[in-house]
């Protein structure tokens, strides 16, 4: 039976377009062309302040991607081990992984950012300065705190993604691998995970896009992302409407392009999976 392609719901993000979903694909193009058209129109016909704002944001775009990419790498690592822990038959490992997921998902990301950057600084304040690690913990850079907080938070969600992806693979695959002499670790990393990745990729892409949007929260830690740069410009020029309009459009364009990139990777993965 031919595989039926459906639109993938990304929760609080945007639906990832596929070539099989004509309506959504057209909406994606309308949104992208519309956003780029508005940015171009405002920059050309109203260069002051829109063009000035646009020239002020590139540094923030680079920082936003830096935070997002580093955070998603940390989240993927934590998510993989958490997902494996959630399906582990070892009760202690399963309990630790499950507790991590429940606790982290129950605390807002903004609170975690404040906690890691401000609260932990007080805890480490009494540590001696004789050790480089202690000095680093007491004076943690805002960017590092932001990456740790976001990676730690999204690692819990990634753990559920990996758990669901692994459990979606038929148990016969495991039995076949074990019958060929593979041990438990080899079975997981050489047989199960490569197949599960086709299921895991779409929600991982969703979380990546959601994380990029949530990265705007790091501006409260004085990290110069897109939103922080916009706030700096608006505080000097008092062009709040114009500034946040341009910031919103830049975020929209980035999100739309990333959603299409995820869709393309999914199509390519499915194509090679059928060969």
pLDDT digits (tens, 9 = 90+) for 98-126: 999 999 999 999 999 999 988 887 777 77
Does 194 fall in a domain?
yes
For residue 19, what pLDDT is reported? 59
Q: Span 235-255, mean pLDDT?
A: 95
Diameter over CA atoms, the chain: 70
Does 136 fall in a domain?
yes
Residues 215, 107, single domain; the answer is yes
Residues 259, 214, single domain; the answer is no
Does 9 fall in a domain?
no
For residue 247, what pLDDT is reported? 96
Query: For residue 166, is pLDDT > 80?
Result: yes
pTM of the full structure:
0.84
Cα separation, 57 vs 259, in Å, equals 21
Does 11 fall in a domain?
no
Structurally, how many domains does the chain consist of? 2
104: domain CATH number? 1.10.3720.10
Residues 153, 80, single domain; the answer is yes
Predicted confidence band of residue 92 (pLDDT cuts 50, 70, 90): very high
Q: Is the distance from CB of 215 to CB of 68 less than 8 angstroms?
A: yes
Whether omega before 49 lies within 30 degrees of 0, making that bond cis, reads yes
Query: For residue 75, is pLDDT > 90?
Result: yes
- Token pair listed for 271: 């194509």
Query: For residue 206, is pLDDT > 60?
Result: yes
Cα separation, 48 vs 116, in Å, equals 39
Query: For residue 263, is pLDDT > 70?
Result: yes
Does 3 fall in a domain?
no
Query: For residue 156, is pLDDT > 90?
Result: yes
For residue 14, what pLDDT is reported? 53
Residues 135, 250, single domain; the answer is no
For residue 268, what pLDDT is reported? 76
Residues 93, 163, single domain; the answer is yes
Predicted confidence band of residue 3 (pLDDT cuts 50, 70, 90): very low
List the domain range (segments joined by +) for residue 273.
Answer: 17-56+238-275
Residues 66, 169, single domain; the answer is yes
Cα torsion 203, 209, 210, 211: sign: positive
Length reported for the chain? 275
Q: Span 46-72, mean pLDDT?
A: 94
Q: What is the mean pLDDT of the chain?
A: 86
DSSP 3-state percent helix, strand, coil across the chain (nearest 5): 80, 0, 20
Does 32 fall in a domain?
yes
The helix or strand, by DSSP H or E, that contains position 133, with its residue range, turns out to be helix 132-138
Does 12 fall in a domain?
no
- Of 171 and 33, the structure prediction assigns the larger pLDDT to 33
Tell me which DSSP letter residue 13 carries.
S
Residues 99, 196, single domain; the answer is yes
Does 212 fall in a domain?
yes
Predicted confidence band of residue 5 (pLDDT cuts 50, 70, 90): very low
Which range, of 14-18, 137-141, 210-214, averages the lowest pLDDT?
Answer: 14-18
How open is the CA angle 43-48-50, to the nearest 5 degrees? 40
The 3-class SS string of 158-201 reads HHHHHHHHHHCCCHHHHHHHHHCCCCHHHHHHHHHHHHHHHHHH
Residues 150, 43, single domain; the answer is no
Residues 148, 251, single domain; the answer is no
Contacts from 7-11 at CB under 8 Å and sequence distance 24+? 8/202, 8/203, 8/206, 8/266, 10/203, 10/205, 10/206, 10/209, 10/210, 10/259, 11/206, 11/210
Residues 101, 37, single domain; the answer is no
For residue 99, what pLDDT is reported? 96
Residues 69, 201, single domain; the answer is yes
Give the three-state DSSP class for 16. strand
Residues 267, 168, single domain; the answer is no
Rounded percentage of the chain residues whose pLDDT exceeds 90:
58
Q: Is the distance from CB of 243 to CB of 53 less than 8 angstroms?
A: yes
Q: Is the distance from CB of 185 to CB of 84 less than 8 angstroms?
A: no
């Amino acid at each position: 039976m031919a595989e039926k392609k459906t639109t993938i719901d990304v929760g609080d993000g945007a639906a990832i377009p596929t070539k099989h979903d004509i309506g959504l694909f057209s909406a994606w193009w309308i949104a992208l062309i519309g956003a780029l058209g508005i940015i171009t129109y405002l920059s050309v016909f109203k260069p002051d302040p829109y063009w000035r704002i646009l020239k002020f944001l590139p540094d923030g775009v680079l920082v936003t991607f830096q935070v997002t990419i580093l955070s998603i790498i940390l989240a993927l690592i934590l998510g993989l081990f958490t997902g494996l822990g959630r399906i582990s038959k070892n009760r202690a490992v399963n309990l630790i992984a499950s507790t991590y997921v429940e606790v982290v998902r129950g605390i807002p990301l903004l609170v975690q950012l404040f906690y890691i950057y401000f609260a932990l600084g007080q805890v480490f304040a009494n540590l001696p300065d004789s050790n480089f690690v202690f000095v680093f913990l007491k004076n943690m850079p805002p960017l590092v705190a932001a990456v740790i907080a976001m990676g730690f938070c999204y690692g819990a969600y990634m753990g559920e993604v990996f758990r669901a992806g692994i459990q979606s693979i038929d148990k016969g695959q495991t039995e076949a691998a074990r019958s060929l002499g593979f041990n438990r670790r080899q079975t997981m990393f050489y047989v199960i995970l490569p197949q599960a990745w086709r299921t895991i990729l779409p929600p991982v892409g969703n979380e990546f896009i959601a994380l990029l949007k949530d990265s705007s929260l790091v501006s409260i830690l004085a990290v110069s992302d897109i939103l922080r740069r916009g706030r700096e410009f608006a505080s000097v020029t008092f062009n709040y409407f114009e500034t946040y309009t341009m910031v919103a459009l830049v975020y929209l364009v980035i999100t739309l392009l990333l959603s299409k990139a995820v869709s393309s990777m999914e199509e390519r993965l499915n194509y090679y999976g059928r060969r």
